Each structure stands twice: as C-alpha cells, then as structure tokens.
Amino acid sequence: MFSEKLNYLMMITSTTNTELANALSIDQSVISRFKLGKREPGKNSDYFTNIAKFFSHKIFKLNMQYKFSSFMNAGNENKLTNSIYEWLKNNKNNNNMFFNPVYNTAYFYGNKGKQDAVILFLENLENKFNETLYLYSDENMNWMLDEPFSKKWSSLLTSVLKNGNKIKIIHSLSRDYSELINAVFKWLPLYLTGNIEPYYIPKLRDSINRRTIFICSNQAITSSSVENNTDNMLNLYTTEPQLLFAIKEEFNNYLNIANPLLNIQYNPSFEHENDLSEHITGTITVNNITVKIYIKEYSEFFIIKDDTVVLSTTEPSLVKAFIEYYKSNFNNRF
C-alpha cells in the first residue's frame, strides 16, 4: 500500500511530516492522511513525482542508497527517482521487484537527532487512540528545552493526549534544582489534562550512565550517554517487535522500583483550602495557564488550577527544589 511505503521512506530517512509537507508545499494534515491510508494521491497526480524526487535527493544526500540497492535501481539520483516513483504507484504485490517494508530501525545522532526522533515518534501517534506512552529519561535535558522544538513537541504531545492516549513517565530526582523545576513546569500543562501518571525512582542511579526510553505499542526510542555529554550520541528509533519487547521490559524494571511522584486530584472538595491560605507563595503562568502555588510547613507543596485540579507531593527532593526556586524568584521570602 502507498501508506506503508511512504511510512517506510519517512522513517528510514528520518523525515518528519513538517519537512515533507514543506517540500511539497502542502499542509501537514495531508501527509498525516497519506500515512494513515485515509487518502492516496490521484493516479495522475504530481505527488508521486515530487515525493520520489524528494526522497531520492535526500537518500543520496545521506549516502543511504545502499539500503535500497537490493530492490531498486539506485545507480544514480535520477534512476532512484524513477524506481521510487514506480514503487509508490505500484499497488501489486510484486516481491521480485519491490520490497515490502514492515519493520525497521533508524539512527539519529546528538541532541538534534533526538529532537527529530521524538517528532517522528509523536507524529506517528497524532491520529491514534487509547495508546499508552511509557517515558523515562535521566539524560541531559537541553535537547528538550530548545526553542522552537519545545513548542513543537509540547503541541504534538498535547494533541496525542487529547485523543485519549495516556502517559506513564518516570522522572529522575537526581537532577539539580533548576533542571527539576524546569521538568515539572514544562510538563505542568500536560499534567492538567489528567492523562499522565508521574513516577520517580527514590534510590538514585549513578551519575555517570544516563538513559532515555520512549515506547508505545509499535515504536520506541532509546539512547544512552555518559554524564551530561550528549554530543553525537546515538538515538535508536525502532518498530521491530523483538526490540520493542526488550525495551518495554527495561522500562518495567524501572517502573517496579519507582513511586508515584505527584498526587493528582480533579474537582477536589478543598476542605484544606483555608489551612493553605496562610501558605500561599504566589502564582505562576505556564503556556497561558495560571496556577497557585502553596508550600506547607516545608514538607508539602500544592499546585492548584482554578479550584478544579490539585497536584501535590511530599517528596522531600521536590519540595526542597520548589523552596529553592521561590527563594531565588520571590526575594528570599522563605
């Protein structure tokens, strides 16, 4: 099918919906429908030609023609363009001429590579429902905080959650205060959707070996790094079932030693609100969402949104991080 072939080409060349849509001068939603099989180019459409030219050029630019030489004529860019064109238009099962891709693994490098892998991962989830995403990372977070990527991944993740998908995320409490607070507030708008279960590992891992896992039912990203050194690190993206099974088992091993990080309540009774009124520290706006912050007796903090959502924790490392944050941002009022 056209959708399977397009998905294969995009995965093997690390092409995002945005990149291909821009190259074809069309809306990203058209690419999404192509990938999902909800729409195909017309028989005489220029899409086949333009898509073939785009991927042939990119494949040669990345020196990846060897991956196609077994089932296409990849002698030069023009020959590969013609082969991809014929392959995309041919819906017959001709295994002697055309490779039928099902599973594969792609490699991304460094922080930019991780960003590209995450965008690919989330774009493939954008139109799926009732999935659970399992996320863990104690690697350097700089890849996530860069603009405009942070807006892009936040928007995609919000879209994924709006479709009823869930997230189980394990946070690392070994980060310094600024990283920890940034992680909480970067995720705050997503926590407020009610579709996230956050955990933490109380026994700190060593500070040398770092790990990232993103996985759902049919795809995964993994990476490893040493201390905070993420330049040129390998980020592996895969859809291969055996690899997915092994990666999910690894995530479960982390989850088995994790505890819930935040207690999340929706439409609470607020019997404790009068007690908290003496402990308010201020308000914070994150992505146009304003929340009240309370710290109670240096041992518990509450984040309250419009009297309808309460996030709270007694985890000492997190409470300490918030107190340090407000000391530096509210003129040492504590």
Instruction: List pLDDT tens digits, range 60-81.
Output: 888 887 777 666 777 788 888 9
In the beta sheet, which residues pair with residue 266?
Answer: 309
Largest CA distance in the chain: 75
Q: Does 334 fall in a domain?
A: no
Residue 250 and residue 129: Cα distance in Å, rounded?
24
Please indicate, yes or no, whether residues 124 and 178 belong to a single structural domain of this protein: yes
Among 260, 284, 318, give the residue marking a domain's end. Answer: 260
Please indicate, yes or no, whether residues 120 and 137 belong to a single structural domain of this protein: yes
Tokens standing for residue 228? 């905070």
Please indicate, yes or no, whether residues 132 and 216 belong to a single structural domain of this protein: yes
Q: Does 229 fall in a domain?
A: yes
Residue 271 and residue 274: Cα distance in Å, rounded?
7
Among 212, 230, 260, give the residue marking a domain's end. Answer: 260
Q: Does 235 fall in a domain?
A: yes
Tokens standing for residue 230? 């993420």
Q: Does the pLDDT value for residue 220 go beyond 80?
A: yes
Q: Does the pLDDT value for residue 18 go beyond 50?
A: yes
| pLDDT band, residue 94 (cuts 50/70/90) | very low
Q: Does 17 fall in a domain?
A: yes
Residue type, 57: H
Please indicate, yes or no, whether residues 142 and 68 belong to a single structural domain of this protein: no
Q: Are 136 and 164 in contact (CB under 8 A)?
A: no
Q: Does 97 fall in a domain?
A: no
Q: Does 94 fall in a domain?
A: no
Asked which of 40-44, 173-177, 195-199 is least confident by mean pLDDT, the reply is 173-177
Collapsing DSSP to helix, strand or coil, 14 comes out as coil
At 66, phi and psi to the nearest 5? -60, -25
Please indicate, yes or no, whether residues 114 and 136 belong to a single structural domain of this protein: yes
Please indicate, yes or no, whether residues 274 and 316 belong to a single structural domain of this protein: yes
Please indicate, yes or no, whether residues 118 and 229 belong to a single structural domain of this protein: yes
Q: Does the pLDDT value for residue 100 go beyond 60?
A: no
Of these ranges, 40-44, 149-153, 243-247, the one predicted with the greatest mean pLDDT is: 243-247
Question: By C-alpha distance, which of 275, 305, 281, 311 is closest to 293?
Answer: 281
- Summarised one tens digit per residue, pLDDT across range 200-213 is 887 666 678 899 99
Please indicate, yes or no, whether residues 116 and 197 belong to a single structural domain of this protein: yes
Please indicate, yes or no, whether residues 250 and 303 belong to a single structural domain of this protein: no
Please indicate, yes or no, whether residues 166 and 252 belong to a single structural domain of this protein: yes
Q: Does the pLDDT value for residue 311 go beyond 70?
A: yes
- Decide: residue 43, CB within 10 A, 0-12 exposed, 13-18 middle, 19+ buried: exposed
CATH number at residue 181: 3.30.870.10
Q: Does the pLDDT value for residue 170 go beyond 80?
A: yes
CA distances from 205 to 137, 239, 310 (A): 12, 28, 30
Q: Are 121 and 244 in contact (CB under 8 A)?
A: no
Domains identified in the chain, total number: 3
pLDDT top residue among 310 and 137: 137
Domain span including residue 294: 263-329
| pLDDT band, residue 93 (cuts 50/70/90) | very low
**pLDDT at residue 27, as a whole number:** 92
Among 260, 287, 308, give the residue marking a domain's end. Answer: 260
Handedness of CA 286, 289, 292, 294 (dihedral sign): negative
Residue 139 and residue 243: Cα distance in Å, rounded?
21
Question: By C-alpha distance, which of 131, 134, 186 is closest to 161?
Answer: 131
pLDDT top residue among 332 and 319: 319
Please indicate, yes or no, whether residues 256 and 167 belong to a single structural domain of this protein: yes
Asked which of 173-187, 210-224, 226-240, 289-303 is least confident by mean pLDDT, the reply is 173-187
CA 54, 57, 59, 60: dihedral to nearest 10 degrees? 180
Residue 200 and residue 184: Cα distance in Å, rounded?
12
- Which residues, at least 6 apart from 319, have a Cβ–Cβ distance to it below 8 Å? 295, 298, 299, 300, 301, 313
Q: Does 99 fall in a domain?
A: no
Please indicate, yes or no, whether residues 117 and 241 belong to a single structural domain of this protein: yes
Q: Does 284 fall in a domain?
A: yes
Q: Are strands 259-260 and 196-200 parallel, antiparallel or unpaired?
A: antiparallel
